[in-house]
Structure 1
């Protein structure tokens, strides 16, 4: 059965965990959904894991469209989520719609936008015009220069309140899903209990509607220091499909993320 926004809402309401992995091509799209992955995120993380640059910032709109088309050709069941690239949506809601519509035309079913409550107008503009939006809050990698690095967000009381407000405002503006990155697990749980849409975590504990990882991280492919929230599912698997199936199962039975993967 095709995964849609309605499917995700039903899963979240019933307490069935949603599994998401990044995906950048047709072959992996087919493999990941055959292994049970619900959402394929065509992430601007491709800048680092595919292109070899040191952040998501250089990835272009045209490159994202290309990879969305590749993934959409390989996906038959999973929902395809496309990242809005740096500079493609911040100027105005109209600019965001022009570029988001190109991702939808390329095969995405939803787009992901980084930023807090100030993105509410853009979120509303897109959702009212038929483009589902995933709001990305907490650690937003496109803000790496403003943050001074990849740091856990929401540790102070003021910062935590700001992030809760971001989630509430964006959900009320029409976001179909809220993704939280690198926030304390207690904060992620509070947000999940507060908003009426599914929540996805990466480094946000187990008490969310679902989980996402960069597929290269989950398969132990990407070199360099492993982030705290990452688990290499390939370590105990006999095949890539087996590793992905193990990830899906661990998300569903809540054994991932474990305490050592959370903040």
Structure 2
């Protein structure tokens, strides 16, 4: 499941870092727009422009974030006059400021990020609580399983494993149902997949142990929670920072 989860992020992330347009002979586009090039992913385009994937999907009315085409021009900054546009200017003048967009840049990366080098040793451990009650039916191995799977009955409460900010809440990732991603301090990230219902929104701060979802089987063949812990984009075993059961 973990390996498929990582591949799913590759599919969902549909566009790349801005490259030299002259290199491919494309006509230039105006400020706030980007022309899709071969190999681009939406996640990388969002990251390089300090935006969230969901914002770019909304600004461009993309019916399927997995289906962008080479040569397609995308809006990568808020439309003029929107509240997001006024705040975007402040973010550009203070690029280190905390925001859900910059936090989203740390979302789980593609499989190459996990295998390019040994997992980075966290500078400090993170104190987690179990995200749900239930039986662990699949453990982390760092290769085929990038997280753990917990089974229980439909509607079992899902809680935030640590305090943080929601950087993704939605069901745009085919095969993983209702998904939540939470950014924590110290370059940590947790992800919660296959939920029956979501109770938090992007940009919302959550407390450790706060109910954020209910267990379900959205885009899955059984009721379960797929839970991942990431450090600097690389998956690590969440059980090492969870209390004994």
TM range (shorter): under 0.3
User: What is the TM-score when the length of structure 1 is the normalising length?
Assistant: 0.26
Q: Which has the higher contact order (CA 8 A, sep 6+)?
A: 2
Bigger Rg, which one: 2
More helix by share: 1
